[in-house]
Structure 1
Amino acid sequence: MSSQSPARFGGSLTTKENVVIPRYESAELTAIFSDRNRMELWRDVELAVVRAMADTGELEPSHVAPLFTREVIIDDEFVELVLAREAVTNHDLAAFVDVLQETYDTPAARFLHFGLTSSDIVDTALSLQIVGAMELLLDAVDHLLATLRAQALAYRATPMLGRTHGMAAEPTTFGAKLALWALALDRERTRLVRARAQMAVGKLSGAVGTYSNISPALEASALSSLGLDPAPATQVIGRDRHAEVITALASTAAMIEGGALEIRHLARSEVMEVQEPFAPGQKGSSAMPHKRNPILSERLCGMARLARSFVIPALEDVALWHERDISHSSVERMMFPDAFQLVYYMVTRFDRLITDLVVHEDSMERNLANTHGLIYSQSLLLAMVRTGLDRDAAYRIVQEATTRVLAGDGELGAILAKDARCPLPAAKIEELTSLDRLLVNLDSLFGRLEALKGSTWTSI
């Protein structure tokens, strides 16, 4: 067996670790998680340690100067050399160190990876990748927040039917619906920022994290130059941090899924209150020319399922044997690139969807009118109770009237006005069946929305 290629027995001979198909890829994220960038970060971490050793006097600066007077470029050729070397070592970081030392071709190269273990480099570089990906995602989230806020204010006073259990309830406004999505996304942003902070750490504490060959002061100095803080660790950084990132991503995906699902419902033919944008030349169905299906919303709902699928393996990565094993490694090679690609795609496409959404205010008005006053049933019930009528008795009177409305006998207010059991005068019934009266207190919600500007995110 020893004569066989290591790739047959689990080697990682690949130049593309993320498996999201090109249809959903962000070029920026692909670059962040590419082999080239990963190895550039490995090089940067190695050099940061050597520089810190020279700065603290642990190494004579002149002995390591050649490492800083010449830059080793991590290009496709370098990556291929590492992959070829890995076919021999069956260890990606060891192969990288071998090639890096050979490329420098100076005695100073012997101080690369001096006193370090592989996870010092790999985990620290992974933190830098995750932080970079999170910053890209947060920029997109900020843009989506600004879009939601602008659209919420634009439709602040656009009344529509509220629905519970899919049934007509009381009215709301389309702006209120969008405002709640914006506030939910702001909470997701808080989770993402917190997860990013948890990952802005590295470790250079050696084989089992005991600083046997690297001092805590040297670790702090090297990590500071990389923009990271030291993390207490075993041989690896605790995977609870990584799990927090994945759960924050999945939660963000779930928030977007909620909005996309609502758009799908509102776009149904019998509702027709919103529609996804439909470009000239676009076809909704290969068979039925009239179709304008909510395909983007459906796609976003499907992608949220994939984003959630990473939560369980991320949590299972937390428990490792003793000071470390590598059961988490294979998971993370695919999980982080794919999870970030999925959620970034969802955020940017949902932004486009909200920007270009077609809102049919006339359909919203029609659907409100088609309830024939059922939306005022609670107001009428409470007014009867205020007159001193027993609540259950009042409930039964209104309920019987709503049954007649559903049977096509007329408007709820008019039916109650003719019911001798109803203690409300006709003028009071007319006052209570006012749409504006039910929406008068939404200013509080929009006040919360307006307070977001300039507080937790950057407006555009």
Structure 2
Amino acid sequence: MNINPIDEGRYGSLEMRRLFSKKFKYQTYIEIEKELVIALFEAGEIARHDVDIIIQKAEHYDPDLKAISDIESSTRHEVAAVIKHFSSLCGEAGKYVHFGATSSDILDTTTAIQLKKASTLLERLLTELCELACNHAFEHQDLIMIGRTHGQQALPITLGFKFANWADELSRHLIRFRQIKSRLFVGKLAGAVGASAAIETDDISIESRVMQRLGITAGNISTQIVHRDRIAEFICFSALLASSLDNIATEIRNLQRTEIDELREPFGLAHQIGSSTMPHKRNPVLCENICSLARLLRGMVIPAMENMVSWHERDLANSANERFIIPQACLLLEEILQKAVTIFKDISINRDSIERNLREFGQKYMAEAVMLELIKHGVDRQVAYHELRSLSHLQDSDEFEMLVKNNLLITNTLSISIIEELLKPKNYIGHCAEKAILVAQNVLNEIKNG
């Protein structure tokens, strides 16, 4: 019986769900045990015959989940149950399985392997999203639209400038992601309390060799567990990235509002339904999903931070919630990224609405341009500001151009031809287009040079 929507397959790809399945987890446990046995053989601790048996059984290990569950019902210890099940398949050689290790060695190393594989999927999506944002920045570098602050019209910008801002923010997350990898993909094989006392060999490099073969690294030192600041950093990163995507999705949702209607997320016109009762609805459900899942992901930061606190060399206070937060952070972040990629690939841009919104309120948003030109021509700044403020707030200010052209202070200072040029949005977008191109190119270079 499935309760969690992740288990129902609603969120996360098949591959990401596979990485956190019991079967993959248990197979990874045994892969680690195999590499430990090989390292012990190389150190002269185990005979070749026993190693060959364990390797052969490990490479063909298909965990019997029912049998392991039955064992765990009595042992009340998951790792011990898996080890007991696998050891029974190895005959006499089974006594060397888990030799010198503790359950945290297996658990934390498995987590590192899962996170490395999951990160490959996440980074691929984040990179694609950055590239899509850059493509939109290039394509729409000159498409003038109204910029808004506090939900009100502010000054004209370009749509490419908006996408470039998103590309720049997303690229910082890509840089962060790449930076934390060396701190995240860390396992351990140091036994109880981290002292490596149970491995009776002078070869201190066994741990690092095993980790290298597994494709991860060993920490400089550990207690009985890998220090939880590493996982907390990943969860915090995931929450940061999800929050940026929440911000982007919220902006698209606002720009899809009926009265604005400048951007629209993809919608399956043939079959998709917005409302079960209102046939006309075209709801921004992808964006809303992003915002909703981001809220859930942010909530995982607190337990991740609290898991950094441990009694002495190890306790179990982190274990239960990590069964939730680590796989769910990966699955939810992947889902959020995938939805964002889907939106950026097929986003609809309503140029008619963009143009309408530039005209609709009489271009009051050009008041700053007129004010600054008056100042340049000798008018006191406070006088110019209050004159334009008064015109903008008049009841008939939707006729802003007419009001400006009929104002004596303005027309005594500026010619009609200058006023007309000042009121054209294309003349007051600053360096929006140049910045869009520059930022998009820099982001693509960052992706390329990695």
TM-score normalised by structure 2 residue count? 0.93
Give the corresponding residue for 1:228.
216
Rounded to whole Å, the distance in 2 between the matches of 1:254 and 1:292 is 24
2:106 corresponds, among 121, 129, 135, to: 121
SS of the aligned residue for 1:169 comes to strand
2:383 corresponds, among 383, 393, 404, to: 393
Deviations 1:102-148 (A, max 9, x none): 0112x222111111111011111111011111111111111222222
Residues 368-407 of structure 1: pairs in structure 2 closer than 5 A: 368-404=358-394, 407=395
Q: Look up the equivalent residue of 1:88 and give its one-letter code.
A: S
Give the corresponding residue for 1:300.
290
Q: Look up the equivalent residue of 1:450 and give its one-letter code.
A: Q
Contact 2:232 2:308 in 1 (8 A): yes
Give the corresponding residue for 2:165.
180
SS of the aligned residue for 1:168 comes to strand
Residues 412-427 of structure 1: pairs in structure 2 closer than 5 A: 412-422=400-410, 423-427=413-417
Deviations 1:132-174 (A, max 9, x none): 1111111111122222222222222111110000000001111
Rounded to whole Å, the distance in 2 between the matches of 1:410 and 1:297 is 33
1:259 corresponds, among 236, 248, 266, to: 248
SS of the aligned residue for 2:275 comes to coil
Query: Which structure 1 segments of 5+ residues have no match?
Result: 1-13
Contact 1:157 1:173 in 2 (8 A): yes
* Cα distance change of structure 1 residues 270 and 306 upon mapping to structure 2, 3 Å threshold: same
- Offset, 1:306: 0.7
1:147 corresponds, among 102, 119, 132, to: 132
Give the corresponding residue for 1:327.
317
Give the corresponding residue for 2:336.
346
Contact 1:249 1:307 in 2 (8 A): yes
Rounded to whole Å, the distance in 1 between the matches of 2:7 and 2:179 is 26
- Please state if 1:25 is matched with 2:12: yes
Rounded to whole Å, the distance in 2 between the matches of 1:421 and 1:454 is 50
- Please state if 1:79 is matched with 2:68: no
Contact 1:124 1:203 in 2 (8 A): yes
- Please state if 1:95 is matched with 2:81: yes
Rounded to whole Å, the distance in 1 between the matches of 2:403 and 2:325 is 60
* Cα distance change of structure 1 residues 395 and 20 upon mapping to structure 2, 3 Å threshold: farther
Contact 1:377 1:398 in 2 (8 A): yes
Rounded to whole Å, the distance in 2 between the matches of 1:409 and 1:159 is 22
Aligned residues: CA RMSD = 2.1
Rounded to whole Å, the distance in 2 between the matches of 1:318 and 1:79 is 31
* Cα distance change of structure 1 residues 18 and 358 upon mapping to structure 2, 3 Å threshold: closer
- Please state if 1:355 is matched with 2:345: yes
Rounded to whole Å, the distance in 2 between the matches of 1:342 and 1:410 is 46
Contact 1:18 1:334 in 2 (8 A): no
Contact 1:257 1:301 in 2 (8 A): yes
Contact 2:256 2:264 in 1 (8 A): yes
Contact 1:50 1:112 in 2 (8 A): yes
- Offset, 1:20: 5.2
Q: Look up the equivalent residue of 1:238 and give its one-letter code.
A: H
- Offset, 1:444: 2.5
SS of the aligned residue for 2:157 comes to strand
Give the corresponding residue for 1:37.
24
Q: Look up the equivalent residue of 1:421 and give its one-letter code.
A: L
Higher RCO, 1 vs 2 (CA within 8 Å, ≥6 residues apart) = 2
Deviations 1:269-290 (A, max 9, x none): 1111122222212222222222
Contact 1:417 1:425 in 2 (8 A): no
SS of the aligned residue for 1:421 comes to helix
Deviations 1:236-259 (A, max 9, x none): 001010011111111111111111
Rounded to whole Å, the distance in 2 between the matches of 1:314 and 1:83 is 28
Give the corresponding residue for 2:431.
441
* Cα distance change of structure 1 residues 18 and 133 upon mapping to structure 2, 3 Å threshold: farther
Give the corresponding residue for 1:364.
354
Query: Which structure 2 segments of 5+ residues have no match?
Result: none
Percent of aligned positions that are identical? 31
Q: Look up the equivalent residue of 2:80 and give its one-letter code.
A: A
1:289 corresponds, among 271, 279, 289, to: 279
Rounded to whole Å, the distance in 1 between the matches of 2:83 and 2:57 is 17
Contact 1:39 1:74 in 2 (8 A): no
Rounded to whole Å, the distance in 1 between the matches of 2:132 and 2:178 is 20
SS of the aligned residue for 1:211 comes to coil
Contact 2:361 2:398 in 1 (8 A): no
Deviations 1:68-116 (A, max 9, x none): 244453435x2222111111111111111111110112x2221111111
Rounded to whole Å, the distance in 2 between the matches of 1:63 and 1:103 is 12
